[in-house]
A and B are shown apart, each in its own frame.
Chain A
Amino acid sequence: MARLACVNVANLPLQLLLRKHPEWRELPAAVVSKDSPYGTILIVNNRAKEYGIEPGMRYAGALSLNHDLRADTIPEETVTEGADFLARELSRYSPQVETDRSEPGIYWLEVGGMSSLYPDLSIWCKAVRRCLAETGFTAAIAAGSTRFGCYAAAKSIEDQVIFPHPRSERARALAAGISVLKLPAEVTERLEMLGVRSVASFLDLPPGAVGKRFGPEVKRLHRFAAGELDIPVQPTVRQADPQWTIKLPYAELSGDRLLDTMRRSLDEVIGSLRKSHRLIRELRIRFVLEGTSKDSVLIEPIQPSSPSIDIDLLTDLIALRMENLRLPCAAAAIRMAAVTVAERSIQSELFSVASKESRQEADKVLARLRGIFGNSCVQRAVLEDEHIPERSYSWEDLNRMPWESEQDLGAPTSAGSAASEGAAAGDRRGGRGRRVVRQAVRQEVQQEARQEARQAVQVRQAVRQPTRQAVQVRQAVRRIFSDPCLPPKQGFAQRWGPYPISGRWWRGEQPKDYCYAETRTGEILWLCSDGSDGRWRQIGVVE
């Protein structure tokens, strides 16, 4: 007789809410559909129930019953993440764990082989519940021989139950209320009005008539309750991403030999990944140095231009990364880990019109640049909706070329001008407002070079010669320093401004003054003062 268990982490969103806000455990609390007084209450804790607060009420209405009611939203992704986390925890107690995606918090576990590890199934149940409790969750567990029997029991208890015989399991299931079934609320309500309150009386209804009135899903539940859908546990917890350690027969310092060893090892891993239709998105490599297990060198993760299991490509990228690597001493072991993603169907790519080859080549070039100079070496400027000049743009890593619009590629622009262009356009982070700056390939400046270059020129705009009017009409090329410095002491021939900018007062920022100043040599400086010491600092020049 097959044995299985049903684990019910009841009201999972509420449990997640109370993990997020542990200070709410002693207060009435609810999960709401949206952060608004008109948000619908989805789940409430027992303290809230005591005040008559029920799911379905508006938050504002519930608040009139108790002013202490706390509420927050729990997004679907959070619930899914929480459910996946629990599944991983449960996988420590059964080789086969099935997550019920339609009802987060319900898990099916194969417990047939547990007798060798746990002399008594009740001990296994306790261990599982203890494990979940340590992570902040409470769960009920029912172990038996049928899916519905275990499910109905797990939904109607708060601790654990083990059914030794199918007969007792069935009797208990039939006596359970229909609330154990995941029926839509309106169906439950309708059935209760009709006097159908137990699973047994639900099963008395003709299945065809149930389907006609309440739809195929309710009919499926009818069949489920009738025991017609008793299938074995379908494991849903996938194998973890591969992590492996290569113990070298003797300490090795040679990059070529280390690379060769890694290639062979990676080839084996790729073989198994190929079977499970997964691709490597990122490779992490750590060299454990000789003589100690603690000292190690972690190289920057290696990211192919697109997820891949191409051994040549991956080896090439590892080789590029290792070209600049100087290990302090020989490595005794190599620890490798791969972050994988599911292989995507290539059908959609068949419809792609643009030249895939050139795109891939470009992406490969970027990947190679990252391989040589580090993952943050290729960046692009993103315009920010800010008045403060230093915050009117930011840099973000450019991991692959943005191919959405060919025009974007041909239009280098400055943060300043585009910022003013788009002032009314609102948030420029999304889509259209982005501009690729062709000059944005920023090389890692060597240590010695940093001192002489105040910082790389990042923002450019082709305009006129720097004249006074150019400053006034704000059409000048500006060089923004990343680190402000004191201006030359020679004094100024002329100054424009100050132009005060308030900044984010709600975050405690103080206003700043900006101005332009022309030196006696005709250089126009861009100055800023935050008023803290009454001094101006140079934040750039006008070219």
Chain B
Amino acid sequence: MTGYVPLWCKSHYSFLEGASSPEELVATAEALELPALALTDRDGLYGVVRAHLEAKKRGVKLIVGSQITVNRAAADSSSADDKGRSTTPANTILLLAQNRIGYANLCRLISAGRLRSPKGSCAVNWEEICAQASGLIALWHGEGSPETEPRSRGAVADLIDAFGDRLYLMLPRHRRAEEGREEARLLRAASHFRLPAVAATEVLYHDASRKNLQDVLTCIRHNCTLDQAGRRLKPNDQHALKSASEMRVLYRDLLETDPGLLQRSLEIAQRCSFSLDQIQYRYPAEDLPDGRSSADWLRHLTFEGAKKRYGQSVPSKVRRQLEKELALIEELDYCGYFLTMHRIVQFCLKQGILCQGRGSAANSAVCYCLGVTAVDPVRMELLFERFISRERNEPPDIDLDIEHRRREEVIQYVYDTYGRERAAMVANFIRYRLRSAVRDVGKVLGIPATTLDRVARLLPHYGGELRPALEKTGLDLANPVYRQAAELSEQIQDFPRHLSIHPGGFLLGSEPVITFVPVENATMPERTVIQWDKRDVEDMNLFKVDLLGLGALTQLDYCFRLLQEHRGIRLSMAEVPAEDPEVFDMIGRADTVGVFQIESRAQMAMLPRLKPRNYYDLVVEISIVRPGPIVGGMVHPFLKRRKGEEPVEYAHPSLVPVLKKTLGVPLFQEQVMRLAMVAADYSPGEADQLRRDMAAWRISGRIERHRDKLIRRMLAKGIAREFAERVYQQILGFGEYGFPESHAASFALIAYCTAWMKCHYPAEFTCALLNAWPMGFYAPSTIVEDARRRGVEVRPVDVLISDWQCTLEPCRRATEDSAPAGPPNSMSNPNADRLGFAVRMGLRFVKGLGEEDWHRIQSYRKQLSGKAESTGLSVEDFVLRTGIDEGALAALSQCGALSGITGRRRDALWEVSGAGRWRDSERWGGGQDEPRDDRGDGFLLKGEEVMPDFSVLNQLESIGWDYLSTGHSVHGHPLEPFRKELIDQGLPDAQGVGRMQDGEEVSYAGMVICRQRPMTAGGVVFMTLEDESGFVNLVVWSTVFEKFHKIILSSTVLGVTGKLQSQDGVVHLIVDSCWKPTLSRSPSTKDSRDFR
């Protein structure tokens, strides 16, 4: 090696400090002909994987290191503030990994400093550094070095003892006038301690042009504007990567006296032989009984499970599949991974936590037998012959969905089982996108936050251009501030802002995780997280276990519990009767409010066209309404082929095995990858790269590089250009959001189970859905309305009856075989005889009421238990005994929950008014200790007050008060009281609209419950209006939206006129104009789901 090696480089993974990516630094090092580069991000190794891959590609040697914050008092809690931050000033030292031992020590050291500190900070002490010195080279420098400390001589001596000839003195130069003094001091120290000196500048960016961005990052870090930043900014642009000749010029005078100053950087680089390739990862072995091997034990558990699933005689087809899968698992040494999944699932089973595996490996016969998934791959004909890729050499993929309210129990179980050293969660870097960039950069430049918010709103979440948005908001790009904001916001794209936590990814290792990646605290208590994200973990070929929360499983768990509690029926997901035609009839009618995955407006529009009749149809249904197939133009060809309107053709015979299942049309992510392999002869490695690039194309546009290769190779194979282009378009679409078949298969099972519950046990379904809420697509009001339309009686909240959650109560009418309750227009319910129960709304839906209040109400009810019903109850007594705050009391009054105590809601509201004010006085003893003034300024004596004569609520007001206080009403839809007025105006209800003919001109008025503008729809807005009889779906073209956007965005009740489009049972109203309906009074409002 010749020249010089930069030893002090910080990338943008030194959050809000470094202004270049590791890739940019490595690429520039190559361009400057530097033989090596040390990445030394502050207190972390966040960027080393990215730098490692880039360095390998470019032939630049990467030295792994870190700038460690040293605090003499670290680990001494007495010198920490109340947030755990150290109160003594911090110094820093650079540590470079010489070998694997040194790397492990560096990881341990950073982990120690991070784990004892609050998120975002780190500190170790000199003693700890000395203790972990083995295999590390240390460079100390500048201000805050040990020399300045009280025990200076001792500390330096300790460092010399610990590091020996691996301790260097670093001489930084950044052309600052005041550096001279510091340099003189360092030179004296070097001479005194006989330490070799080495030249090194602090590199914060690859090119001096990033100086401005680095200033901006500094301001963001300090939460100040550029005008306020002062000396917090670097004074000049001398923190760029320099060539060897530039370094020789910079240190010319010192090189005269010490010619080895630059040469020593090469010497250090040569001494560092560590590479990330040396990390040997092994998945943790499970504790196994009777000295069995992992493979034996997995085989045993699998066949034991198979007997439970299939009975004593396991079908030969299943047995063959199991043998095949087990052999592959053993060959690839994945047994431990499957055993871990089994262990976690067993824990869930024991604790009564509903879970379900998904992913390519999850939908295997082995996983079915292990109980990881309830999808029977044999019964469902989902035998994934390539469920684990031998060729791709990638870890198996199993995501375990867990009912969301109990996921934390499972996470803590994993920590307890494997220990904090061997288990940590995978990180997620929160990165700048255009919206966040413009907000932060603009703030630093002093642009008002409200202006920035206006600009940010015009930007898409991903991609997009800033300059048009600035111009659209009337900001002049000729103004230097806005021009700078645009430039810098573009530069900062994709920069990590801070570390977050992956939704559920766990990294488990047979060795302590902290020997191959540092671990730190997450914001959430009891969570620790590694410094690498999912992509890094994949690139390092580490195994990840995903434990994800899923609301639908919580809902199903509630359903099963209610069934058992009220009807004595025990059921699990695997036992739900399969292929029930009644359920598929319901699904085909798009009667799917609350049904997992197929309840959205777009899914509902697809269901009557696709008319799923079996499980696999549901798998297709879930996958087809995704941007991938939509953008790729695959939806219509598939529907036509399914209906027989178009022949099933293949562009090339080789594609038949890949596309046969989906009638020649690629719908799943796996198919796209296999297409690339079969049609374009992609190698497994190239296909894997394609998958990764598909996931990341929005960020970096990396998918573009596949275009030529894919199309060229497909053409060479005789595939028509038109098909080749279409395949490429679909790949782009899948980058947006493609759905793997393996995931869809698992989701389809949950979807089917929830649909089955809705179809056969609507009361239990509704009760469970409301209790699992917030989840899914619809607000409680819509869920309640839907239940009422299905004939389920929903009863209001009552402080004397309701629990915190919704409950089931025997339904008198149903048990007396009378007609099910429901609004006049409710659809006939074929399952009326299965009802039997009414849903009692829970107190949790009362706004402002907390669980603490619920406990108070419980104790109030206990106090009442001895009394005769409603005897001597008073609102004042309730207020005094429960101590609930005034806001919640008002909500209870408004929703009628106090009607068991006092009859009229307005009287109750008047009585609780000012409770916070007068309750304390009443508690003082009713005027004994505090004289009360009946003339007005004080309080009236008990019984002296006359109740004003308030008017009784009408139906409209009742519903309005319900919505105000609970967000829903069991007394009717807000538009119900206006039905006569609307009919008089010639406006039909939703059911009436549904009965109209295709092409008919329609005017309709309904309540807006959803406004959506998908990115894939070219500006078209989709809306859903609701009334007491159902939904009407609107399609608003962009021109119509522009014309009527004011009324569309501001109206809760909207009138529309347009042409009806009715095909295959799917009804849409294509809107021509919008208007405000003329109503005698304003209906109460409900929240709509807007533009998500």
Contacts and interface: CB of A to CB of B under 8 A. Distances in A.
A472 B450 CA distance: 48
B450 A214 contact: no
Contact of B906 (A71, A194, A205): A194
Contacts of A500: 175, 235-238
B226 A506 contact: yes
A56 interface: no
B250 to A, nearest CB: 12
Nearest to A500: B236
Contacts of A427: 228, 230
A37 B450 contact: yes
A423 interface: yes
A386 to B, nearest CB: 6
B235 A501 contact: yes
Contacts of A50: 1046, 1050
Given A37-B449, A499-B175, A506-B484, A51 B913 contact: no
Given A64-B1091, A212-B918, A194 B909 contact: yes
A427 B232 CA distance: 10
Given A72-B448, A208-B934, A498-B175, A66 B1046 contact: yes
A70 B946 CA distance: 49
Given A32-B450, A37-B450, A205 B918 contact: no
A457 B111 CA distance: 54
Contacts of A385: 230-231
A59 B453 contact: yes
A143 B946 CA distance: 37
A386 B939 contact: no
A214 B181 contact: no
Interface string B448-476: 11100110011000000000000001000
A64 B1048 CA distance: 12
A181 B434 CA distance: 47
A204 B473 CA distance: 51
B999 interface: no
Nearest to A216: B937
Interface in A377-427: 384-387, 419-420, 423-424, 426-427
A336 interface: no
A505 interface: yes
A13 to B, nearest CB: 15
Interface residues of A, number: 66
Chain A contact surface mostly: mixed
Given A52-B1049, A66-B1046, A206-B948, A472 B457 contact: no
Contacts of B211: 502, 505
B450 A35 contact: yes
A37 B453 contact: yes
B945 A64 contact: no
A506 B450 contact: no
Contacts of B231: 385-387, 419, 423-424
Given A67-B457, A72-B450, A215-B914, A387 B235 contact: yes
Interface in A445-479: 469, 471-475
A95 interface: no
Contacts of A424: 231
A309 B228 CA distance: 42
B180 interface: yes
B175 A194 contact: no
Contacts of B939: 208, 212
Task: Kindly state the interface size class of chain B when it binds its partner.
Answer: 35 or more
B948 A59 contact: no
Interface in A204-238: 204-209, 211-216, 219
A275 B356 CA distance: 87
B718 interface: no
A67 B473 contact: yes
B936 A211 contact: yes
Contact of A67 (B228, B236, B458, B937): B458
A499 B233 CA distance: 15
A473 B480 contact: no
A119 interface: no
Contact of A502 (B237, B445, B940): B237
A249 interface: no
A535 to B, nearest CB: 20
A514 B178 CA distance: 12
Given A215-B914, A386-B230, A475-B181, A51 B1050 contact: yes
Interface string B918-952: 10000000000000001111111000011010110
Contact of A473 (B184, B448, B951): B184
A511 B180 CA distance: 21
Given A473-B184, A501-B235, A63 B454 contact: yes
Interface in A491-512: 496-502, 504-506, 508, 511
B913 to A, nearest CB: 4
Contact of A506 (B230, B445, B948): B445
17 contacts: A36-B450, A51-B1049, A70-B450, A194-B906, A209-B940, A384-B230, A387-B233, A423-B231, A427-B228, A469-B184, A472-B184, A473-B181, A497-B175, A498-B175, A499-B175, A502-B234, A502-B236
Given A59-B450, A426-B230, A472-B181, 14 more contacts: A35-B450, A70-B450, A72-B448, A206-B948, A208-B934, A209-B940, A212-B914, A213-B910, A213-B918, A216-B937, A387-B230, A496-B180, A502-B237, A505-B212
Interface of B: 175-178, 180-181, 184, 211-212, 215, 226-228, 230-238, 445, 448-450, 453-454, 457-458, 473, 480-481, 484, 890, 894, 906, 909-910, 913-914, 917-918, 934-940, 945-946, 948, 950-951, 961, 1046, 1049-1051, 1090-1091
Of all A-B residue pairs in the complex, the 8 with the closest CB atoms, nearest first, are: A385-B230, A213-B914, A52-B1050, A472-B180, A473-B181, A387-B235, A37-B453, A213-B913
Interface of A: 32, 35-37, 39, 50-52, 59-60, 63-72, 190, 193-195, 204-209, 211-216, 219, 384-387, 419-420, 423-424, 426-427, 469, 471-475, 496-502, 504-506, 508, 511, 514
